[in-house]
Amino acid sequence: MSLPLAGVRVLDLTQVYAGPTCTRILSDLGAEVIKLEGLKRTDITRNFIMPENDSQGDFWNHAGYFQERNSGKKSVTLDFNDPEAVELAKALVPHVDIVAESFTPRVMAKFGLDYESLKQIKPEIIMVSLSGYGQTGPWRDFTAYGMGLEPASGISSVTGYRDGPPLRTGISFTDPYSGVVGAGAVLAALVYRRRTGKGQYIDLSEQESAIPVVGHAVMDFALNGRNSQRIGNRSHWYAPQGCYPCKGDDAWLVLTVRDDAEWAAFCGAVEHPEWVPDERFADVLVRLANHDALDALIASWTREQDKIEAMHLLQKAGVIAAAVLNAKEALLDPHLKERGLYETIDQEGIGPRPVPRQVGARFSAFETDSRRPAPKLGEHNREVLQGLLGLSDEAIARLEEQNVIGDTPRGTPAGDIPLDVLRMFVQWPTSTFLQMGSIAALETEYKHDLGIDQ
Amino acid sequence: MPEAALEGIRVVDLSQGIAGPYCTRLLADLGAEVIKIEPPEGDLTRRLGPFPHDLPHDDKGGLFFHLNTNKKSVTLDIETQSGRVVLRKLLANADVLVESEAPGRLAEIGLGYDNLKVEFPDLIYCSVTPFGQTGPYRDYSGNSLTCMALSGLMYITGDPDKEPLCTGGEPADYFGALQAWVAILAALEHRAQTGEGQQIDVSILDSLGCANEYNSTMYAYLGAIRKRFYSRHHIPTYPSEIFPCKDGHIVAVGGATGFPLMMAVLIEQPELETNVLFQNLWMRTIQWQQFEEILRPYLDEHDWQDLLTRAQELRMPFAAVLDARSLLENEHLRERGFFAEVEHPEMGRVPVVAHPFKMSETPLRVGRSPLLGEHSAQVLEALGYDAGDQLILRERGIA
């Protein structure tokens, strides 16, 4: 069973979240992805989330954050501060179909690795640049983090409690979003190349890629001059809709009632048939007008309910409802489990852990390759540099000696950070997070609960 | 006109709502011929606003417009046998079918994948539904809110002392759209190599769940259950939060090189470089109230444009908090031509939220949404139905 991108090779210069999501999707679909990192510029996410918070040994090969987005890739270390490394990267170009990068726009040109240069080396190359604000326009040189791009794309302007300030999603929303967009853009370019033999350049602005999510708000302003509004968990179209407290600590249920039939179904399911004819809630107009009173009424019922049981009760009656799950509950949810959203990946030195898939769809003709470990730093130096470029053992030894390639981080471009300092930094103050309230619980038996205690 | 990436690909689109239609919009913008099959009363989103001046009209829905550019609209009642005969003729020359009905619904009327695969072995049949075609919740109904709740993302969004919050803009549907679009393109590659079609099962919940960043990993590696905590992260990037400023809001981010010096320089108190909250990331993260007491007064006195420009000069990734108005008026987006304008026969000049990426050789197409049934005659005629046939199909309420 061959995967659709078998035989496609990707040179991956991306780091952190958006770019690595794009290339991991290509990898799961069968592409061979060669990830380039510098010893002084390792992917920073190799420092994020150590198993058991343990930063001993080669911790940079154990990070959970890195694993999620780099499963199945090959790792080659080439330090771009070294001209020889840049030449080696260029020498790889004829062997690849796709180059992916996520630097700010001027960087690739500085290295002579911009599209115009790559095209000279290999005319049919497909190159995708994922940057915060794109390759043109007055903001093109802005540095960008994912946490700034969700607000810059407009999404935060419609996210927040009613009459409250704009808020951000608990994830760096535009990173995974633009990562999936990038994978689709590359696939479209591959379809075109198959037909015509021609490559091309893809300019992906992570800000722009997510603006379509607020298409409704943009069109409302364009058509009516009405600016973005924050409506909490309510709906533009249906009432009631909201998030209601349930029995237990921090337990919540969301639900949406769209029409009279669903309202009657809801009242029946919660055994309050007298609410159906109640004139405050009897039709779609008064349900909207009396939303606050309706919320109080619904909460008077939900407060006495278990959120999971309430979800099933309402869904079986035909009402849109769902329990608000925390990470543990989502990992253990029977539906997500049967769907296989989390794949168990067994990484050397870490043991089996559930990792979310990055390709969301399930295919009847093939199964995506999404259970492979992430590469150790420099794990494939020899395989790639000798296999593709034919470097001799002596040449490899010399590059290792000169620290152009290697298997151990060597600080940052700004300066050397001793590994022991980094070891302290990569341990997270989890018990303090618990006191602050940014962590709801810190459980010691979690491996048992997840069924991954070997 | 330059060639389009998906030229020659034909998509029969039975989907309604947001996820399916945004997926097929991306295919249409890339040059595929997307034939949108609508029930005679039209796609559900034709009845949802925003409408100009809030006056409902089948062809003037702003959301419908946004989700359906460059498509052809054909009305067809596939609940009737006669309607399904027409649909099968269309499928004979189609590459892709996209649908968003409840699982099993189309099989009931002979249009499930198993009903079609013998007749159309190279057809790519993509279903986009809230919970997918399998699993205990497959028959449940859902929307972006339920997917946010079950994915674990809602629990970590919002203020710790308030209820969990759903991200605005129906985010799960858009993630579902993207994953369906990627899957269809991958299936087209598979078909080019093998000649075979297939069934694709996209769950909108799975699609959002793929994007949990490190929420499940914090539990699977540390046993830590994340909780919503304003707009803040555990990964070492504090502040990275939306703060009020003089004329609105600003995202203040130190980035890789902002602390301790650049942030101190930005707020015109360079002596703070030696302050422990500027020196030590975790200290700043934990004692965030004290850090905010230093930062907020300065932000309160400055405009977002000014803060953004100066922070970026200091190589700190500050960012703007844009809303619908400021997006449409944004100079950067304007120079990149992000909001194109098209002429719509019922609405006049309308801005289009254009493309999530730019391609050098096969630029994505800018276009408008179709009027209800605008292409019925053209498409039926191409299938061999003459004017007399079309009249009968029309009179019987089938087309």
pLDDT tens digits for range B331-377: 999 999 999 999 999 999 999 999 999 999 999 999 999 999 999 99
Mean pLDDT of the residues in chain A: 96
Please check the confidence at residue A378 and state whether its pLDDT lies above 90: yes
- What is the residue type of B54? D
Instruction: Report the topology of domain A9-212+340-436.
Output: Rossmann fold (3.40.50)
Query: pLDDT by residue (tens digit) across B123-155?
Result: 999 999 999 999 999 999 999 999 999 999 999
Percent of chain A predicted with pLDDT > 70: 99
* B chain contacts of residue A211, beta-carbon cutoff 8 Å: 327, 338, 353, 356
Q: Please name each of the domains of chain B with its CATH number.
A: 10-210+336-395 (3.40.50.10540), 241-326 (3.30.1540.10)
Q: Packing angle between helix B171-194 and helix B144-151, nearest 10 degrees?
A: 90
Distances (CA, A) of B12 to A19, B97, B393: 32, 5, 19
Its ipTM equals 0.98
Annotated active-site residue B323? The verdict is no
For residue A37, what pLDDT is reported?
96
Residue A1 has pLDDT above 80, yes or no: no
% of chain A beyond a pLDDT of 90: 93
Using one digit for the tens of pLDDT, what is the confidence trace for A350-359? 999 999 999 9
Region A286-290: mean pLDDT is: 96
Give residue A105's pLDDT. 86
Average pLDDT, chain B: 97
Residue with the two structure tokens 């939303």: A291
The C-alpha atoms of residue A98 and residue A280 are separated, in whole angstroms, by: 61
Task: Please report, for chain A, the start and end positions of each structural domain, with discontinuous segments joined by +.
Answer: 9-212+340-436, 241-331
**B85 by DSSP, 3-state: which?**
helix
Per-residue pLDDT at A418: 86
How far apart, in whole angstroms, are the C-alpha atoms of residue B331 and residue B313?
18
Interface membership of B238 toward A (CB under 8 Å): no
Interface touch A152/B170, C-beta < 8 Å: no
Residue at B161: amino acid letter: D
Separation between Cα atoms, residue A401 and residue A395, nearest integer Å: 10
pLDDT of res. A420: 86
pLDDT, residue A325, reads 98
Any CB–CB contact under 8 A between B2 and chain A? Answer: no
Q: Does the CB of B282 have a partner CB in chain A at under 8 Å? A: yes
- Beta-carbon pairs below 8 A across chains A and B: 575
CB A109 within 8 A of CB A96: no
What's the fold here for domain A241-331? formyl-coa transferase, domain 3 (3.30.1540)
pLDDT at A417: 80
Position A415 scores a pLDDT of: 72
Please state the rounded mean pLDDT for residues B211-229. Answer: 97
pLDDT band for position A414 (cuts 50, 70, 90): low
Q: Are A253 and A324 in contact (CB under 8 A)?
A: yes
CA of B232, closest CA in chain A: separation in Å?
7
Partners of residue B162 in chain A, C-beta under 8 Å: 161
B residues 113-172 closer than 8 Å to A (CB): 113, 126, 131-132, 134-137, 140-143, 145-160, 162-171
* Burial of A397 from C-beta contacts in 10 A (0-12 / 13-18 / 19+): exposed
Residue A96: pLDDT band (50, 70, 90) is very high
Q: Is A324 in Cβ contact with B154 (below 8 Å)?
A: yes
Torsion of CA A20, A22, A23, A27, to 10 degrees: 120
Q: Which residue's structure tokens are 């605008």?
A: B374
| Alpha-helix runs per DSSP H in A39-145 | 64-70, 83-92, 105-110, 115-121
Would you place residue B44 in the very low, low, confident or very high pLDDT band (cuts 50, 70, 90)? Answer: very high
Mean local confidence (pLDDT), B297-306: 98
Q: Is the pLDDT of residue A413 over 80?
A: no
Quick: pLDDT tens for A129-178: 999 999 999 999 999 999 999 999 999 999 999 999 999 999 999 999 99
Instruction: Indicate the SS3 state at residue B167.
Output: coil
- In this structure, are strands A362-363 and B198-203 parallel, antiparallel, or unpaired? antiparallel
Q: What is the mean pLDDT of residues A333-339?
A: 98
Q: Of A18, A33, A7, A15, which Cα lies nearest the Cα of A370? A: A33
Q: What is the pLDDT of residue B276?
A: 96
Does the structure show a pLDDT above 90 at A79? no
Catalytic residue among B29, B173, B201, B206: B173
Is pLDDT of B86 > 90? yes
How high is the pLDDT of residue B231? 87
State the pLDDT at residue B2. 85
Lowest mean pLDDT of B230-239, B323-332, B374-383, name the range. B230-239
Q: Do domains A9-212+340-436 and A241-331 have the same CATH topology?
A: no
A255 beta partners: A242, A321
Please state the φ and ψ torsions of residue B158, each to the nearest 5 degrees.
120, -170
Asked if A324 and B149 come within 8 Å (Cβ–Cβ), the reply is yes
| Chain B contact set for A445 (CB, 8 A) | 223
